[in-house]
Amino acid sequence: MSERFGTLPDGTPVHRWTLERAGVRVRVLSYGGIVQSAEVPDRDGRCADVVLGFAGLDGYLAHPEPYLGALVGRYANRIAGGRFTLDGRTYPLARNNGPNCLHGGERGFDKRVWDVTPVEHGVRLSRVSPDGEEGFPGRLEVSATYTLDATGALRIAYEAVTDAPTVVSLTNHSYFRLDGPGTAGGHRLRLAASRYTPVDADLIPTGALEDVTGTRFDFRRARPVRAGYDHNFALDKGVTDTPVEVAELFAPASGRVLTVATTEPGLQLYTADHLGEPFGPGAGVALETQRFPDSPNRPEFPSAVLRPGELFRSTTVYGFGTR
């Protein structure tokens, strides 16, 4: 089901699509590929919205930086110095995070209106990112297909092709609060990650992969997730052809459980320490599946390079349950 959601200042209409299956209702916007809401039942069958979002388009336009629920690209996370070198050529990028490029630049995929086509149990969003958009090389044809499976899990399948060598990393930037309105305080997190990428003062990876043993980054056994995280975890499974479960977020108060399965090698844990009004710090937990931050400048990290004739594929599945 689709409906008019609003109009951008330039007159472009924005639509909202509602997906519903197995007791789960998810709403997706053509603007930014945003997951506006995800209503799921608790252990007593009472439904609540478990992602942060705004009721109207004006909220997203007035507060773009949190990337609430957005489809992020052309490159998710940070690229150091707002530049990278590929095949001997250096590409300067938009710098929108101090000296760095963050989440695709000043006007990344999260601020674009996508073409939307209905598919079975979902919608397919697509657009063409022209050569040079935000500094990235190559004409990129990209799509993201959002579907609900028979259990009510939200599957996001990304695909892209290019006509010139480029770099690609796509993710969804939803903030989860499994108890509904309030904060994510008390949530317990488990991650299948024995290593993480430490960062410098600008949150750029140093290049090291450090063992989580004995540190606050060890979530291999579920424990409360508190403030102070904006870090990439190197998932033990690495890159896979099919999604593998790598994370579980549990809210003891409501009994809701979120599982995350992905084909990607990394997961950025962000505890929303700097989230502003109307939500405030700690209002949600972001679990962003991705290539590692600054991979275009780090040949030792899993590659984010896409070349002509290749097909970029990435899938992440957000499962909802209770216990």
Over the stretch 295-318, which tens digit does the pLDDT of each residue have? 999 999 999 999 999 999 999 999
pLDDT of 182 over the 90 cut: no
Assess whether 121 carries a catalytic annotation: no
Please check if 231 is assigned to a binding site.
no
d(CA 117, CA 89): 37
pLDDT of 235 over the 90 cut: yes
Please check if 2 is assigned to a binding site.
no
Quote the tokens at residue 321.
């349950």
Range of the domain at 248: 2-322
Quote the tokens at residue 110.
């999260």
pLDDT of 277 over the 90 cut: no
pLDDT of 276 over the 90 cut: no
Cβ atoms 239, 302 nearer than 8 A: yes
Cβ atoms 244, 191 nearer than 8 A: no
Residues of the chain above pLDDT 90, percent: 97
Question: One of 173, 187, 248, 264 is an active-site residue; which one?
Answer: 173
Q: Which of 271, 259, 247, 267 is nearest to 314 (CA)?
A: 267
| Confidence label for 255 from pLDDT (cuts 50, 70 and 90) | very high
pLDDT given at position 176: 98
Tens digit of pLDDT for each residue in 106-157?
Answer: 999 999 999 999 999 999 999 999 999 999 999 999 999 999 999 999 999 9
Question: One of 133, 134, 264, 288 is an active-site residue; which one?
Answer: 288
pTM to 2 decimal places: 0.97
| Confidence label for 54 from pLDDT (cuts 50, 70 and 90) | very high
Assess whether 63 carries a catalytic annotation: no
Mean of the per-residue pLDDT values for the chain? 97
Q: How many domains does the chain have?
A: 1
pLDDT of 1 over the 90 cut: no
Please check if 97 is assigned to a binding site.
no
150-153, long-range: CB < 8 A, 24+ apart: 150/21, 150/22, 151/22, 151/319, 152/21, 152/22, 152/23, 152/24, 152/40, 152/320, 153/24, 153/317, 153/318, 153/319, 153/320
Give the CATH number, domain containing residue 177: 2.70.98.10
d(CA 27, CA 32): 13
pLDDT of 209 over the 90 cut: yes
Please check if 229 is assigned to a binding site.
no
Mean pLDDT of 163-168: 98
